[in-house]
């Protein structure tokens, strides 16, 4: 009996000790967010009961937990859209555990099962990611294996099925299976003699294939569609160059009008950086490069790849109204950016120095030449090779152009000023699908002034103005009013008072005073109060939101006009 | 090094087996055998929806391909069906109720026999052909017949819908009868360079239900096979409708999942 008791005590002590050590070495992290909005009818901006359709409250929320113990980690993400906020896809409605995963990685070998987020190179052939503000999630449910056989070499393989709102992952679901491999070689890390070299080089290659059964009634569909890419990154001192080229074989889809032409994309970047000066030149070509795991999918559903935008990202409300959305069927883009800081204690630099930034970006269509089908010239006709396109051909059709210049200046210990001028060309017909809508040629200027009242209190004021090429007197034809909903001149102002580090309150108004349609000359006013404590942020906003487009990384979501009260709560631990 | 070589051998095998490069012709020969089953395609559309004319064209092509085995209704509902000045208002109470019930948010989108797919009841126009073919391949479980009695003076239309289940069924089943007008000329927003087209011909325009948004219950419980169940309803055809182009579309469906078992259409005169 004594022996049994002794044995029991030993086991309990061992398990207890192990459990204690297990718990001490474990780490749990989490983040939570709730976005809720109560919608009011507001006839002034065209929000009627019929439009709200009984859905007065929209709530989007998520909770993410990650557990880590040494080389092992696991996590899950719960999401709820009851009902989704206005502008989010109604197919998101519902709640449940959207993602879960477990991973082991000892530095040489790594294996992940469950929902995978990863990227090969720039993402031209493969990128899975989640963007809460867009309601976008193209994660891959399956497996990933990573192998690092030697210093600087990483080999990777993934396969699985992509998330499609709340659709099941069963075999009978029509969307395809994605498989991919990637290899990356950092030459400096691999060759000891080059470890400390000023010349840095890495190369990589990817191959991704989608399998989707051919159930099409009218077209022979390629069941295995492959895309491959190669990349090079070089740097020497202050110069850096990177490029990636991707190619995709025949992939008829709802996006490309069921043509069988191969697709391709090129992204190159050359930069120079030294203290106080940075210069970047980027170019991009995209031709028929939408790549989805279901050929019937539209918009940004089930994207396997990612086509990075090379445009300036505006954060102020007026220029952000006209954000560019990547055109996967074809675009030729260029961006040139210079950042220069005028040194302190010079005539123009003053006591604190002055930051200058110039950015030029432009996106044109590609050139498409007809092909002969049954003896007749044909352009982009379904069930054909579509068209031919010279690699360096640039169409005269400009989708987007942004020329902007920014000055950031700390005037004194208490005053800081940012001013910016933007010249914008925005082809609304292409980017937003408002066929026949005239292009936007706008000049925008803003000043962002911050005054530090005390060490903890500050006041910030934003003043913006947008001059549109379409004025109040523009004749809008009957039935085309909708295309002019945000056209004409705008002015906007914001006043924000902050008591660091916890409180801020702001009032803002955007006024579309120059709209050619009288009923659209509306004010969009908001009042916001925010509270921050540690990692928790609570923000309450009341007022109107104008119709617009939210874009993150060239992927966009249309936000309809709304009126009401919104609450955002975020926290993490 | 051996391990890296192994990876490349595996990668090469993967690459070689994961590409299907096709040669012309890319189009299949379509041969459809009639099975007696008739499928309903509801094309949720809008007069200000620039992508809708292409979807309507697909629906029309499908009807030409499948003939009497496919019934098409153009249901104008959703934000893009709200007319601005100069555009026709084809919206209906039932169409809007269905659009909202199915959780649709934009046009064009379609239902095929109101079956559920990966993401609910809606299918992109690119999926219609496959889904219609899938539905047509299923076994026919019901027969429908429509008797129309139209009075040209009063424009009163009496409709009798007769349903026969070919196998015994249990559950709650309803029949919905709809009025559809074909070839209505009215402004439609079209892709460039056409833009707003006032001569556009709207096909299969759903004008409303004759017996309520969700139709009439024909039985709840068990029903034996081959027994005819009749339901009647009536409507006064609007004077602005061209009666020569009007027809009745009826369909029988299961209430629990809204899946349509059989559809049928008949001209009113």
The shortest C-alpha distance from A93 to chain B (Å) reads 9
Selecting from B11, B26, B125 the residue whose C-beta is nearest the C-beta of A181 gives B11
Separation of alpha carbons A298 and A311, rounded Å? 23
| Chain A residues 415-474 with CB within 8 Å of chain B | 429, 433-436
The shortest C-alpha distance from B201 to chain A (Å) reads 17
Whether residue B4 is contained in a domain is answered as no
Selecting from B11, B21, B192 the residue whose C-beta is nearest the C-beta of A207 gives B11
Chain pair A-B, CB pairs under 8 angstroms: 147
- Closest residue on chain A to B27 (Cα): A219
Selecting from A164, A260, A560 the residue whose C-beta is nearest the C-beta of B26 gives A260
SS3 B28: coil
Whether residue B77 is contained in a domain is answered as yes
- Closest residue on chain A to B22 (Cα): A222
Separation of alpha carbons A304 and A164, rounded Å? 12
Q: Classify strands B39-45 and B70-76 as parallel, antiparallel or unpaired.
A: parallel
Residue range B122-147, pLDDT digits in tens: 998 888 988 898 898 888 999 999 99
ipTM of the complex: 0.78
C-beta atoms surrounding B104 within 10 Å:
22
**Measuring CA to CA, which residue among B209, B211, B234, B59 is closest to residue B151?**
B234
Q: What residues make up the domain containing B53?
A: 35-140+178-209+241-267
Selecting from B22, B28, B127 the residue whose C-beta is nearest the C-beta of A296 gives B127
Separation of alpha carbons B143 and A512, rounded Å? 58
Separation of alpha carbons A171 and A163, rounded Å? 13
Beta bridge partners of A462: A448, A494
Mean pLDDT to the nearest integer, B194-198: 82
The shortest C-alpha distance from A476 to chain B (Å) reads 11
CB neighbour list of residue B139: distance below 8 Å, 6 or more residues apart: B35, B37
Do B191 and A435 lie within an 8 Å CB cutoff?
A: yes
Beta bridge partners of A160: A142, A178
Whether residue B199 is contained in a domain is answered as yes
Residue range A476-494, pLDDT digits in tens: 877 677 788 899 999 999 9
Q: Model's pTM, two decimal places?
A: 0.82
C-beta atoms surrounding A209 within 10 Å:
25
Whether residue B3 is contained in a domain is answered as no
Whether residue B249 is contained in a domain is answered as yes
- Closest residue on chain A to B2 (Cα): A149
Whether residue B161 is contained in a domain is answered as no
Sort out which chain B residues have CB atoms less than 8 A from A215's CB and list them: 130, 134
From first CA to last CA, the distance across chain B in angstroms is 81
A45-84 as b/e: b if 16+ CB within 10 A? bbbeeebbeeeeebbbbbbbbbeeeeeebbbbbbbbbebb
- Closest residue on chain A to B30 (Cα): A218
Do A217 and B79 lie within an 8 Å CB cutoff?
A: no
Do B85 and A429 lie within an 8 Å CB cutoff?
A: no
CATH number at residue B103: 3.40.30.10
**Are the beta carbons of A222 and A262 closer than 8 angstroms?**
no
C-beta atoms surrounding A185 within 10 Å:
17
Residue range A160-183, pLDDT digits in tens: 999 999 999 987 667 899 999 999
Do A217 and B130 lie within an 8 Å CB cutoff?
A: yes
Separation of alpha carbons A293 and A302, rounded Å? 6
Whether residue B165 is contained in a domain is answered as no
Do A479 and B84 lie within an 8 Å CB cutoff?
A: yes
Sort out which chain A residues have CB atoms less than 8 A from B14's CB and list them: 179, 181, 207, 209
The rounded percent of chain A whose pLDDT value lies above 70 is 94
The shortest C-alpha distance from B86 to chain A (Å) reads 6
Question: Is the CB of A373 inside 8 Å of chain B's CB atoms?
Answer: no
Per-residue pLDDT of chain A (573 residues; tens, 9 = 90+): 556 655 566 565 555 555 666 667 889 999 999 999 999 888 877 777 766 667 788 999 999 999 999 999 999 999 999 889 988 888 898 999 999 999 999 999 999 999 999 999 999 999 999 999 899 999 999 999 999 999 999 999 999 999 999 999 987 667 899 999 999 999 999 998 888 899 999 999 999 999 999 988 889 999 999 999 999 999 999 999 999 999 999 999 989 989 999 999 999 999 999 999 999 999 999 999 999 999 988 889 999 999 999 999 999 999 999 999 999 999 999 999 999 999 998 988 888 999 999 999 999 999 999 999 888 888 888 899 999 999 999 999 999 999 999 999 999 999 999 999 999 999 998 888 777 788 999 999 999 999 999 999 999 999 999 999 999 999 887 767 778 889 999 999 999 999 988 999 999 999 999 999 999 999 999 999 999 999 999 999 999 988 877 777 777 777 888 899 999 999 999
C-beta atoms surrounding B62 within 10 Å:
24
Residue B110 exposure: Cα atoms within 13 Å on the Cβ side: 30
In chain B, where does DSSP find H-type helix? 2-17, 52-66, 93-101, 128-136
- Look up residue A554 and give its DSSP letter: T
Query: How many domains is chain B partitioned into structurally?
Result: 1
Selecting from A153, A174, A216 the residue whose C-beta is nearest the C-beta of B118 gives A174
The shortest C-alpha distance from A122 to chain B (Å) reads 20
Whether residue B1 is contained in a domain is answered as no
Sort out which chain B residues have CB atoms less than 8 A from A93's CB and list them: 103
Residue range A304-352, pLDDT digits in tens: 999 999 999 999 999 999 999 999 999 999 999 999 999 998 988 888 9
C-beta atoms surrounding B27 within 10 Å:
13
Residue of A81, A296, A329, A384 to mutate, testing the B interface (most B Cβ within 10 Å of its Cβ): A296
**Are the beta carbons of A531 and A537 closer than 8 angstroms?**
yes
Separation of alpha carbons A118 and A113, rounded Å? 13
Sort out which chain A residues have CB atoms less than 8 A from B50's CB and list them: 433-435
């Amino acid at each position: 009996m004594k022996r049994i008791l002794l044995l029991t005590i030993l086991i309990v002590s061992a398990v207890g000790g192990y459990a204690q050590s297990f718990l001490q070495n474990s780490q749990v992290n989490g983040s939570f967010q709730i976005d809720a909005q109560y919608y009011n009818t507001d006839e002034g901006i065209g929000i009627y009961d019929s439009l709200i359709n009984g859905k007065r409250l929209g709530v989007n929320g998520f909770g993410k937990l990650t557990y880590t113990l040494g080389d092992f980690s696991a996590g899950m993400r719960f999401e709820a859209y009851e009902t989704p906020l206005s502008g989010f896809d109604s197919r998101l409605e519902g709640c449940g555990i959207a993602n879960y995963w477990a991973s082991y990685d000892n530095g040489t070998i790594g294996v992940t099962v469950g929902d995978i987020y990863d990227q090969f190179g720039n993402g031209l052939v493969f990128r899975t990611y989640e963007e809460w503000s867009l309601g976008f999630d193209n994660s891959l449910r399956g497996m990933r294996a990573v192998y690092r056989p030697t210093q600087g070499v990483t080999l990777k393989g993934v396969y699985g099925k992509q998330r499609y709102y709340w659709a099941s992952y069963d075999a009978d679901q029509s969307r395809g299976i994605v498989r991919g491999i990637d290899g990356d070689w950092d030459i400096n890390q691999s060759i000891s003699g080059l470890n400390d070299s000023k010349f840095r080089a890495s190369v990589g290659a990817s191959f991704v294939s989608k399998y989707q059964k051919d159930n099409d009634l009218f077209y022979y569909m390629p069941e295995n569609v492959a895309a491959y890419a190669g990349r090079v990154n070089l740097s020497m001192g202050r110069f850096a160059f990177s490029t990636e080229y991707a190619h995709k074989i025949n992939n008829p889809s709802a996006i490309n009008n069921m043509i069988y032409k191969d697709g391709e994309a090129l992204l190159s970047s050359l930069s120079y950086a030294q203290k106080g000066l940075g210069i970047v030149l980027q170019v991009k070509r995209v031709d028929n490069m939408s790549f989805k795991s279901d050929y019937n999918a539209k918009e940004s559903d089930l994207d396997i790849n990612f086509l990075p935008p090379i445009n300036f990202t505006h954060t102020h409300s007026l220029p952000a109204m006209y954000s560019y959305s990547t055109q996967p069927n074809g675009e030729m883009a260029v961006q040139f950016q210079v950042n220069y800081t005028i040194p302190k204690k010079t005539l123009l630099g003053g006591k604190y120095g002055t930051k200058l930034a110039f950015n030029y970006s432009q996106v044109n269509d590609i050139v498409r030449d007809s092909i002969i089908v049954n003896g007749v010239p044909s352009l982009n006709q379904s069930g054909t090779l579509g068209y031919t396109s010279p690699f360096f051909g640039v169409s005269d059709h400009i989708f987007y152009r942004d020329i902007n210049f920014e000055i950031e200046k700390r005037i004194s210990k208490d005053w800081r000023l940012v001013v910016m001028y933007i010249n914008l060309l925005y082809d609304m017909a292409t980017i937003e699908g408002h066929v026949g809508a005239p292009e936007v040629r706008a000049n925008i200027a803003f000043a962002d002034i911050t005054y530090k009242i005390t060490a903890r209190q500050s006041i910030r004021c934003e003043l913006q103005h947008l001059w549109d090429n379409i004025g109040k007197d523009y004749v809008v034809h009957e039935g085309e009013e909708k295309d002019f909903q945000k056209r004409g001149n705008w002015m906007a102002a914001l006043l924000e008072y902050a008591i660091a580090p916890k409180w801020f309150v702001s009032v803002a108004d955007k006024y579309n005073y120059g709209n050619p349609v009288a009923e659209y000359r509306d004010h969009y006013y908001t009042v916001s109060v925010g509270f921050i404590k540690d990692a928790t942020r609570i923000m309450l906003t009341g007022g109107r939101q104008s119709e617009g487009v939210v874009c993150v990384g060239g992927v966009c979501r249309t936000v309809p006009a709304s009126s009401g009260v919104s609450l955002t709560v975020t926290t993490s631990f | 090094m051996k391990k890296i070589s192994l990876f490349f051998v595996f990668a090469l095998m993967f690459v070689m087996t994961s590409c299907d490069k096709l040669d012309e012709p890319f189009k299949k020969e379509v041969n459809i055998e009639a099975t007696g089953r008739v499928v309903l395609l509801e094309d949720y559309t809008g007069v200000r929806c620039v992508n809708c004319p292409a979807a309507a064209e697909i629906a029309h092509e499908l009807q030409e391909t499948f003939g009497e085995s496919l019934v098409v209704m153009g249901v104008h509902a959703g934000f893009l069906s709200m007319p601005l000045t100069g555009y026709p208002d084809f919206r209906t109470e039932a169409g809007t109720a269905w659009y909202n019930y199915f959780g649709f948010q934009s046009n064009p989108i379609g239902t095929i026999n109101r079956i559920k797919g990966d993401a609910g009841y809606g299918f992109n126009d690119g999926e219609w052909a496959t889904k219609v073919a899938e539905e047509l391949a299923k076994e026919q479980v019901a027969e429908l017949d429509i008797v129309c009695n139209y009075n040209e003076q009063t424009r009163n239309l009496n409709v009798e819908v007769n349903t026969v289940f070919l196998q015994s069924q249990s559950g709650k089943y309803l029949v919905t009868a709809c009025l559809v007008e074909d070839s209505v000329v009215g402004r439609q927003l079209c892709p460039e360079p056409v833009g707003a087209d006032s001569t556009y011909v709207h096909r299969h325009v759903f004008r409303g239900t004759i017996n309520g948004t969700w139709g009439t219950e024909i039985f709840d419980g068990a029903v034996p096979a081959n027994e005819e169940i009749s339901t009647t309803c009536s409507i006064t055809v609007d004077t602005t409708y061209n009666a020569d182009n009007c027809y009745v579309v009826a369909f029988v469906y299961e209430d629990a999942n809204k899946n349509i078992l059989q559809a049928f259409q008949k001209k009113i005169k």
